[in-house]
Amino acid sequence: MAALHWCASGALSLALEAQISHHVEELERQLHSSASASVCKALRASWRELQAGNTGLSGQWTQVALDYSWERLNMGHWEDVSVEWREVYATAALLKALGQARSGEAKRAMEILDRGILLGAPVLDSALHKFASSLTLTMRTDSKASLTGSTGDEKSKSSAKAGKRIVFRNYKPLGGPISEDPVENKKPRVEINVHDLVSRTANVPLVDPQCRVPLVYLPPLDVFRQNYMIPHTPVVISGVLDTWPAYSARKWSLEYLRRVAGPRTVPVEIGSRYTDKEWTQKLMTFSDFIDHHILQQEKSPERGYLAQHLLFQQIPELQEDIKIPDYCCIREGVTGGEVCESGEGGGCEAGDGSEVGERVKINAWFGPAGTVSPLHFDPKHNLLAQVVGRKYVKLYSEDQSLLLYPFTGLLTNTSQVDVESPDLTKYPEFSRAEAREFLLHPGQTLYIPPRCWHYVRSIDISFSVSFWWD
């Protein structure tokens, strides 16, 4: 497939124009229903009007496709939604964003693109990602464009609906709906290095030296496999982040993160922890998240947390600041392990397209002091790299599961116990559970084995990157 070229005005190459027409025809063949035929007719009409320069009419047609595909995305469980309907939603979002960009509505176009990325499926050689990257660059260098955006009256029906039902598949299976966070009371911004934002009021626990997780410096791959991975033994590793641009050449500051990701729409957890009844999610721009939940965390009535989100997949520019640790190249059942093609201790490039890069799931965890991940376990190997701030971590081995009172139903991987304030009358056996603990500092990486129970609380403003692999 020919390379696609994007510009913020929404101008397209002839190759892409042909691809869009063919793509809509292919979607209609795959969906096989009268309703899908009507939706694809709307997409074709939108594309035809867009080519003719009628952005208003084009937008009306894409709204039909967005509204109908939105309803299909909300029928049943998210995992059961067909990829074709997600492709319809993404295609409609792409056409809608093109029309907005051509009308000079850069901010609105970016919002639509991100919704297409978050809810849709990749289409046309990752066209939404590429257009969003181009638009971000333009908005970053053109202050006038960065201020351009639709008013509340111009927001589409899909945007209004976006707060009603969907819970993203990356999140724990409990919680309320997503809603949109209003932008208000903007203040002048200053450069703040998040590495210097150490909480003065955080509750820093005293870690028992007898229960501390061992700390080692860059163990060789075979040593890591034999001593920690195979026996499922947690360990803290220093030195992994030394070659990361995020920790060296482009050391992250709030202003840097805002500059790279500011206009992008992201899902934010609202509430103390995902097991609480009032827990929910909101869609907001990365910049608004910094303003309302990082810089003004003490004034905000709600705690916000950008948690377990595929941020680096959504924003490739940030992915260039990190590396996949070499330890993710090791497979537990392979003698001697597998070594990254780079052969360097610093790790594989996160976006290198290699087999390792394809099978490692990378999530971002960014939030203020006090964010909590309740005691739970995950089914995969996990390296938690701490880029900014400190986190208190408490670990329990899998063989203690019966002492940890897991929920029943969807949350069987989550404990009902509040680790730092347990109700021993209600959960008496928890007092018998033996834990390991550690205060994870910037530059350190914690290995968490599969099915190892872990509780995490941020001490400071914190940015962590997790790497999950089989």
231-270, pLDDT tens digit by residue?
999 999 999 999 999 998 899 989 999 999 999 999 999 9
Tokens 């351009």 belong to residue: 148
Percent of the chain predicted with pLDDT > 90: 52
Q: State residue 11's pLDDT score.
A: 54
Q: What are phi and psi of 195, to 5 degrees?
A: -65, -20
The two beta strands, 235-238 and 215-217, are: parallel
> pLDDT band at residue 449, thresholds of 50, 70 and 90?
very high
The two beta strands, 280-285 and 178-180, are: parallel
Q: Is the pLDDT higher at 124 or at 327?
A: 327
Q: What is the mean pLDDT of the chain?
A: 81
Rounded to an integer, what distance in angstroms lies between the CA atom of residue 363 and that of residue 170? 9
Average confidence (pLDDT) over 417-429: 96
Q: 418: burial class by Cβ within 10 Å (0-12, 13-18, 19+)? A: middle
The number of C-alpha atoms within 13 Å of 344 and in the hemisphere containing its C-beta is: 13
The two beta strands, 178-180 and 215-217, are: unpaired
Q: Is the pLDDT higher at 4 or at 126?
A: 126
Q: State residue 198's pLDDT score.
A: 54
Greatest Cα-to-Cα distance within the chain, rounded to the nearest angstrom? 72
Q: What tens digit of pLDDT does each residue of 60-97 get?
A: 999 999 999 998 888 877 778 888 899 999 999 999 99
How far, rounded to the nearest angstrom, does the alpha carbon of residue 152 sit from its chain's CA centroid?
A: 26
| pLDDT surpasses 70 at 333 | no
| pLDDT surpasses 90 at 145 | no
| pLDDT surpasses 80 at 200 | no
Average confidence (pLDDT) over 127-146: 76
Q: Is the pLDDT higher at 37 or at 401?
A: 401
pTM: 0.79
Helix (H), strand (E) at residue 178: strand 178-180
| pLDDT surpasses 70 at 115 | yes
Average confidence (pLDDT) over 35-56: 87
The answer to whether 170 touches 378, Cβ cutoff 8 Å, is no
283: β partners:
180, 267
Going 317 to 318 to 323 to 324, the CA torsion angle's sign is: negative
| pLDDT surpasses 70 at 139 | yes
| pLDDT surpasses 70 at 149 | no
The answer to whether 364 touches 311, Cβ cutoff 8 Å, is yes
